[in-house]
């Protein structure tokens, strides 16, 4: 039945499937999501998936970790007008892109799988999808936030690009009137981390762990210096940021080279 609805595909590469699950977790809106657009592929939700149709939008979760996934990603890109990376693994590589040096990765791979040659596909060091294909938009998060996903989805339906949060966690934290944990000498990554989660950890008296990755537009230099002034060890900050930020940590810290005291 031909109609004018957008054709959307939702795909999962290596990751926790949390971004796809978050979409399913939009319980009340889920039926409307399926009505408002043609969800052509969404493995977690349906078995009648169409893997050949030309798509208006592909939403891709997870990082590229095998040759098979790379092939799949290239093929998805080819038949999609727009491609959106959803979640930190697709966008930045996530926690599994921790071993930035390929040799280091290979050593650690061997420690887990020994010398067993995999017959089903060749493993690759985990990388964000933007390393292989053009990514039009990136929704950050671990997992993505429901509000940002729904607003993006609604904007896409109207033919508009996503409008992303550009502020760090601190902004949302102030909206919540939380006491600043840095004032209590607790290392909180809020100033450096992309907002959108609603400052959830600080709302629970816990420091931000940086799971949404580096904030795009915060004055990161000033924020980073602030943390140094507070007496935190640059190595400690880097270690904590590196837990989730994947390959973006390289660029992130290149910027602060020479700022070390």
Partner 1 sequence: MKKITIEHLARLEGNGGVTATIDGNVVTDVKFLVNEGPRLVERLTLGKTPEEDVNLVPRICAICTLSHKYAAIRAMEKALKVNVGPKVKLIRELMHLGEMVESHALHVFYLALPDYVGFPNAIAMASKFPFEVKIALEMKQYGNHIMKTVSGRYIHGENPVIGGFGKFPSRDELVWIKNRAIQFMPFVLKTVKLFAELPYPDVPESETLYACCHPPDKKYGIVGDEIILSNGDIIDVQDYKNLTNEFIVPHSFCKRSQYKGKPYSVGALARVNCLGERFEGEARKMYKKYFNARWTKNPLFNNAAQALELVYAFERIPGVVDEAVKLPDEPLVLYSQKDGKGAGAVEAPRGTLFHAYEVTKGLVSHTDIITPTAQNAEDIERYCYITAQKLLESGQEEKIKDRMDLVIRSFDPCISCSVHTVQVKRAPEEDWKTKIAALKTDVSPVIIGIGSPGHSDDAVGLELARRLRGQGVKEVWIEDEALEKSGAREADERRPLLFLDAVDFGERPGKITIMPLQHAAWNAVLSHRLLPLVTSQISFDQLKNSYILGIQPASLEDGEQISEPVRLAMEQILEQLKN
Q: Give the interface with partner 1 as residue ranges (CB under 8 A).
A: 12-22, 24-25, 27-28, 30-31, 34, 43-49, 51, 63-66, 68-69, 94-96, 98-99, 105, 108-109, 111-114, 116-121, 123-124, 126, 142-143, 146, 197, 200-201, 203-206, 209, 211, 239-240, 243-244
CB of 258 to partner 1, least distance (A): 26
Quick one: which of 31, 81, 21 has its CA closest to 55?
81
CB of 220 to partner 1, least distance (A): 21
CB of 130 to partner 1, least distance (A): 17
List the structure tokens of 233. 């060890």
CB of 96 to partner 1, least distance (A): 4
CB of 231 to partner 1, least distance (A): 18
Largest CA distance in the chain: 65
Which residue's CB is nearer to partner 1, number 73 or number 82?
73
Give me the helices (H) in 65-199, please: 67-78, 88-92, 102-113, 146-157, 169-175
List the structure tokens of 178. 């939380």
Which residue's CB is nearer to partner 1, number 156 or number 181?
181
CB of 187 to partner 1, least distance (A): 11
First to last CA, the chain: 65
C-alpha R_g of the chain:
20
Which residue's CB is nearer to partner 1, number 187 or number 225?
187
Which string of DSSP letters, residue by residue, matches 68-100? HHHHHHHHHHHTEEEEEEESHHHHH--GGG---
* Distance from C-alpha of 4 to C-alpha of 89, rounded to nearest angstrom: 32
Helix/strand/coil (H/E/C) assignment for every residue in 8-24: EEEEECECCCHHHHHHH
Which residue's CB is nearer to partner 1, number 5 or number 68?
68
Residue pair 151/26 in contact by the 8 Å Cβ criterion: no
């Amino acid at each position: 039945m031909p109609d004018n609805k957008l054709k959307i595909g939702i795909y999962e590469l290596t990751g926790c499937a949390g971004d796809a699950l978050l979409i399913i977790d939009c319980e009340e809106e889920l039926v409307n999501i399926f009505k408002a657009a043609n969800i052509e592929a969404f493995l977690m939700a349906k078995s009648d998936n169409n893997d050949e149709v030309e798509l208006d939008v592909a939403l891709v979760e997870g990082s590229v970790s095998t040759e098979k996934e790379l092939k799949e990603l290239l093929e998805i890109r080819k038949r999609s007008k727009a491609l959106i990376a959803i979640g930190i693994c697709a966008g930045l590589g996530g926690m599994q892109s921790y071993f930035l040096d390929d040799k280091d990765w290979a050593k650690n791979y061997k420690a887990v799988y020994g010398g067993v040659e995999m017959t089903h596909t060749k493993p690759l060091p985990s990388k964000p999808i933007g390393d292989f294909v053009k990514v039009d938009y990136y929704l950050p998060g671990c997992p993505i936030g429901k509000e940002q996903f729904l607003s993006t989805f609604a904007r896409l339906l109207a033919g508009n690009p996503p409008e992303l949060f550009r502020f760090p966690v601190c902004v949302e934290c102030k909206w919540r009137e939380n006491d600043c944990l840095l004032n209590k000498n607790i290392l909180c990554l809020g100033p450096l981390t992309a907002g959108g989660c609603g400052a959830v950890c600080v709302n629970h008296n816990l420091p931000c762990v940086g799971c949404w990755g580096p904030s795009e537009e915060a004055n990161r230099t000033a924020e980073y210096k602030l943390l140094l002034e507070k007496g935190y060890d640059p190595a400690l900050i880097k270690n904590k940021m590196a837990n989730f930020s994947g390959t973006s940590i390289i660029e992130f810290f290149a910027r602060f080279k020479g700022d070390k005291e």
